[in-house]
Every structure is written in structure tokens, then in C-alpha cells.
């Protein structure tokens, strides 16, 4: 994947690893806050479909993140690179999952009339995860854009499906 000016501006940072790994807590909030086990299962199926779509793109259009010449990564980031050796890049599934979660949690928080601070926390957590994918050098900005697009598409489709299911029927 080609580098952009944004990729060169975001420097590697050890804190990014915490934000990067926090995805696994963040995405659990979506199904965990559903009202019924059935709703949690449907939410999970949408997430599975999202992952299958992303993995299909990896399979048919394999891409990798380029190394930035002369860059020294903190040891923790080098370890992450070693553990995640597959190098799949586009789209960022971290960002796709975070986008899906951010939209669905945002809709839930809006629906229950939550104050502004949980909604701001939701959006900030999403932004930290998106930033971390570049700051850990796991992805470049184009991967982030692709992941956000994929996640947004599935989130909006799932919300549309949900609204259609709960729309009152005419007498």
C-alpha cells in the first residue's frame, strides 16, 4: 500500500499498542449492550459478515504495509509486527470493527438519551483505535479509509435491517 503524507506525520508510539489492543474490549461493548440474546446474536452475525467481507478482500487483493525507511520502532511495536506477520493491510479490519462498533454504540446511546460524555467517549475511543493502526505501523491511511468505509457500510445496513424489523405494522 502506498504511503501518504498522513502516514509520514504520525510517528510510532508505544502508547499506540494499548489503544490498538483495546479494540478487543471496545468491540465487546456492542453485543454486550443488546437487550436480548437474539439481538446480540444478530449483532454478532453482522460482525461475522463484516469480517468475511474483509477477509475476502485480503484473499482476492492481497496487500501489505510498506516499511518506512530509517524508522526505529519501539520494541513493543516490533513485537507486534513479529506476532502479526501476515501483513494483511487493506482494509484495516481493526478500523472496520471499530467503525461498526462506534456507529452501533452511537445509535444505542442516542436512542436511550445518554448524555454527551458517553457519546464523546465512544467517538474518542474509535479515533484512538484508528490512529493506533497507523502509529503501530500495522496499517497506512488508505487501509484506515478502506476499513472505515467497510465498517460504515455494514453498520448502516445493520441499522436499516434493525429498523425494518421493529417498524410497526399498519392495521
Residue 10 included in any domain = no
> Does residue 12 fall inside a structural domain?
no
pLDDT at res. 140: 85
What pTM did the predictor assign?
0.79
**Has residue 80 been placed in a domain?**
no
Helix (H, G, I), strand (E, B), or coil: what is residue 72? Answer: coil
pLDDT tens, residue by residue, 23-46: 989 999 888 888 889 889 999 999
pLDDT score recorded for residue 119: 95
User: CA 136 to CA 68: how far, in whole Å?
Assistant: 12
Residue 1 lies in a domain: no
Question: Does a structural domain hold residue 58?
Answer: yes
Which range of residues forms the domain containing residue 58?
Answer: 23-63+88-166
State the average pLDDT for the chain. Answer: 82
C-alpha atoms less than 13 angstroms from C-alpha of 119 in its C-beta half-sphere: 12
Task: Report d(CA 72, CA 63) in Å as an integer.
Answer: 23
Residue positions counted in the chain: 171
CB contact at 8 A, 96 and 147: yes
Total structural domains in the chain?
1
Q: What does R_g of the chain's alpha carbons equal in angstroms?
A: 17
Q: Is residue 141 part of a domain?
A: yes
If you ran DSSP here, which 8-state letter would residue 5 be given?
A: H
Q: Does the residue 5 lie in any domain?
A: no
Q: Residue 2: inside a domain, yes or no?
A: no
Could you report the per-residue pLDDT of 48-98, keeping only the tens digit for each? Answer: 999 999 989 888 887 777 665 445 555 545 555 545 555 667 888 999 999
Amino acid at each position: 500500500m502506498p504511503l501518504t503524507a498522513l502516514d509520514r506525520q504520525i510517528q510510532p508510539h508505544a502508547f499506540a499498542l494499548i489503544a490498538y489492543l483495546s479494540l478487543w474490549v471496545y468491540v465487546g461493548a456492542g453485543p454486550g449492550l443488546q437487550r436480548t440474546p437474539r439481538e446480540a446474536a444478530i449483532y454478532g452475525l453482522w460482525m461475522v459478515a463484516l469480517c468475511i467481507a474483509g477477509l475476502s478482500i485480503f484473499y482476492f487483493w492481497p496487500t501489505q504495509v510498506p516499511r518506512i525507511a530509517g524508522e526505529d520502532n519501539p520494541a513493543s511495536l516490533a513485537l507486534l509486527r513479529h506476532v502479526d506477520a501476515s501483513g494483511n493491510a487493506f482494509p484495516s479490519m481493526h478500523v472496520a470493527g471499530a467503525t461498526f462498533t462506534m456507529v452501533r454504540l452511537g445509535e444505542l446511546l442516542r436512542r436511550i438519551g445518554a448524555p454527551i460524555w458517553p457519546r464523546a467517549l465512544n467517538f474518542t475511543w474509535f479515533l484512538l483505535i484508528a490512529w493506533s493502526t497507523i502509529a503501530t505501523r500495522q496499517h497506512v491511511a488508505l487501509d484506515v479509509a478502506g476499513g472505515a468505509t467497510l465498517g460504515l457500510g455494514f453498520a448502516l445496513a445493520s441499522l436499516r435491517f434493525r429498523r425494518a424489523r421493529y417498524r410497526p405494522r399498519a392495521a
